[in-house]
Chains A and B, each alone.
Chain A
Amino acid sequence: MAEPAHATSLELRAIGKRFPARGGAAPVLAVNGVDLHARPGEFVTLIGPSGCGKSTVFNLVAGLDQPTDGEIRIGGQPLADRLGASAYLPQRDALLPWRRVIDNVTLPLELRGVSRRAARQAAQPLLERFGLGEFSRAWPWQLSGGMRQRVALLRTVIGDPGLMLLDEPFGALDSITRADLQDWLLRTWSSVGDGRPGPTVLLVTHDISEAVLLSDRVYVMTPRPGRIADVIDIGLPRPRTPQTREDDAFVALERQVRHALQLAMAAHGEFSEAAGERKAGP
C-alpha cells in the first residue's frame, strides 16, 4: 500500500505529564513514559479505564497542553506548537448551537480564511455523500445524538487533515447507534481521501470492540500514573465491515484486548480491590 501524501506520522517518545500542586493538593503524575507511534495512514487506539490519562495524552498531542517529559513528533519532526497540526474531535461533539449543520462543518475552513460561500460549496457535497445532505440547514438541537456526532466527524475531516484525534467520539451514544457510527466511520475514513487511504488516526476509547474493529494497533493504558501496559496489533484485513464483528479472529482479538486490560488492572491492584468488595458483600 502506497503511503498517502497527506497522512502524517505520529510519534510519542517517553511522554510524561506532571500537573503541579494546586490548592493543597499534591502534584499529580498523570502520565509517565508513554511511547506510541502511528505510521502515515494508520489507525491506532488508546484504550483504558476512566482516569488512566488517555485524555491527557490526547490533549498533549492536540497541542492544548505541553508534556513535562519526552517528545511528540508529527510528520517526523519534534513539534512544540502542535495547534492546527491535527484535526480534533472532543468527547462531546462541541457543535456550536448558533451555527447551522453546514456552518458547523465549515468552521475549520472559515478559520483558515476560506470565505463562507466557498466553504459551504466545499461542505455540501461532503454532507450529501455521508447522508447528511437534507440536514445541512438544520440547527444542531434538531439532530439526534448520532447525527450530531456524524456532523462533528465531518467537521473533523473537512480540512483534509493528515492526523485526526478522536476522543471517545461515540462514548455518549447508545450501543446500537454506536455500532452504526463505527461502521459509518470505517466507510468515511476509507473514502474521505477520494480513493487514497484516510488520514492517520489516534482514537481514545474504553470500548474494546470499537478499538478492535477500527484499529491497526491498540495501546492498553493503566492508571496512576497513566502508562502503556500492552500493545496489540490488530491484523484484521481491510476493508472491514459490520460482518467483521462475527469473525473468529475478531472475537479472539477482543478477548486478547480484554485480557490485556484485566491483567494490567490486576497488576495494579484494581481487581483485588474489587474482589475485596465482593467478599465484604452478602
Chain B
Amino acid sequence: MITIIAVNSLRLRTWLPPASVLVAGIALWQLWVSAGHLDPQLVPGPWFVVWSTWDDKANIWPAVAATTEEAVLGLLAAAAAAFLIAVAIDTWVPVRRGLYPLIIASQTIPMIALAPLVLIWWGFGLEPKVVLVALFSFFPIAVGLIQGLAATDPDALNLLRTMRASRLALLLRVRLPSALPQFFTGLKISVTYAYGAAIVAEFVGAEQGLGLYMYSAAHAAPVATDLVFGAIVVIALLTILLFAVVAGLERVAMPWKPGR
C-alpha cells in the first residue's frame, strides 16, 4: 500500500511539473488570443485549433494513416540496413576501416536536400518517403549498434571462446544482446526524426499524408492556419505515441533490465 502511494507520488513528481508548465503556456496563449492581441487568421487560439481540427477529422485521418505508414516503414528499413552494416563493420576489420568513416562523414550531407533527388528517382508514391525517412533514421541506429557491438565485455567473449563458440554463436549469444540497449537508444532518437522526414518528403510531392495536408491548408484561400497548427499537434502526438511503442518494445526485448 505504502509502496503504491510512493510509486504514484514518484510518477506525479515526474509528470506534474512539465504538465503544469504546458497547461499554463496553452492557457496564456488562449488568453492572449481572446484578449484580441493577435490576428486569429495568423495565430488562432488553441481551443479553436482543437475544434477545427476535430471537425476536419475526415480529411486528417487518412493523412495520419499515410504518414504513419511512411514513418514506420522507413524506420524498419533503416533498422534493417543499420543491422546489416553494423554487423559487417563489427565482423570484418577492412569493412570497418573502409566504411565507418564514410558513414560518419555522410552526416555532413543535409538529408533534407536529398528530398528532390529521392523524388526524381522514386516518384510520388510511398517509396521516396520511406527512403527519406530511412536516410534520416539510419545514422543514430547504426552508430548505436556499432558502438554497442564494440563495447561487448571482452571477458564474456573470451569465456565463450574457451567454450569453442563459433563466431555466429558469439554474435547471437553475446554481441547482439549486449548491443541491444544502445540499439534502442539509437532507435528512440530516430523515432523523433521519422515523422518530420516523412513530412518533408511529402512537401516536395505527395498524393496523401500530413505534409500534403499542411501544404494544402497553408495554400488555401483563406489560409487555414488553424489546420496547420492542428497538423503540428497531431504530428507531435503521433511521435510521442511511436516513441512509447518503441519504449514498450525495448522492455519486451530486454526483460533482464531492472524495473524502471
Q: How many A residues, CB 8 Å from partner?
A: 25
Chain B residues within 8 Å of A83, by CB: 161-162, 164
Within 8 A of B (CB), among A128-143: 139-141
Among A92, A94, A139, A141, max chain B CB count under 10 A is at A94
Contact with B along A78-96 (1 / 0, CB 8 A): 0000011011101110101
List A88-122 residues whose CB lies under 8 Å from chain B. 88, 90-92, 94, 96-100, 107-108, 111-112
**Residues 234-260 (chain B) with a chain A CB within 8 angstroms:** 254, 256, 258
A96–B162 CB distance below 8 A: no
Whether the pair A88, B165 counts as a contact (CB closer than 8 A) is no
List, in ascending order, chain B residues with CB within 8 A of A62's CB.
Answer: 158, 162
Kindly provide the distance from the CB of B98 to the nearest chain A CB, expressed in whole angstroms: 22
A64 touches B163 (CB 8 A): no
The 8 Å CB contact of A92, one of B155, B165, B177, B254, is B155
Nearest-Cβ distance from residue B157 to partner chain A, whole angstroms: 9
Set of chain B residues within 8 Å of A94, measured between Cβ atoms:
153, 155-156, 158-159
Q: How many A-B contacts at CB < 8 Å in the complex?
A: 54
Partner of B256, one of A59, A64, A88, A97: A97
Residue of A nearest to B159 (CB): A94
A78 CB to closest chain B CB (Å) equals 19
Interface residues of B (CB under 8 A from A): 153, 155-156, 158-165, 169, 173-174, 177-178, 180, 254, 256, 258
11 extra A-B contacts, CB within 8 A, seeds A94-B158, A111-B165, A111-B169: A62-B162, A86-B162, A88-B158, A94-B155, A96-B173, A98-B177, A100-B256, A107-B160, A108-B163, A111-B163, A112-B163
In the complex, 11 of the A-B residue pairs with CB atoms within 8 angstroms, ordered by the A residue number, are A64-B162, A84-B162, A86-B162, A88-B159, A96-B156, A97-B256, A107-B160, A111-B165, A139-B256, A140-B256, A141-B258
